[in-house]
Amino acid sequence: MKAMVDKDTCIGCELCTSVCPGVFSMGEDGKSEAITSDVPADMHSDARDAAEQCPVGAISIEE
């Protein structure tokens, strides 16, 4: 699984970094970014939750 953040869309609410801190982290630009290019299996569920809960739909998941 791969997770990507569209920084142009992200509003920096930090929700994804709370829901799935193993994958998402806030960058110096105040926007979230995926800190791992290949999401470990035990984080797939949390990564999907983060993508579903992002208020602006900035996270895309590639299974």
Query: Taking the mean position of all CA atoms in its chain, how far away is CA 60?
Result: 8
* Near ligand SF4 by CB under 6 A: residue from 3, 16, 34, 43: 16
The verdict on 58 binding ligand SF4 (CB under 6 A) reads yes
Query: Taking the mean position of all CA atoms in its chain, how far away is CA 7?
Result: 11
Residue 21's closest CA among 45, 40, 47? 47
The verdict on 4 binding ligand SF4 (CB under 6 A) reads no
Question: Would you state the structure tokens that stand for residue 27, as one six-digit string?
Answer: 């960058």
* Near ligand SF4 by CB under 6 A: residue from 1, 4, 13, 61: 13
Q: Which residues bind ligand SF4 (CB under 6 A)?
A: 5, 10-16, 32, 54-56, 58-59
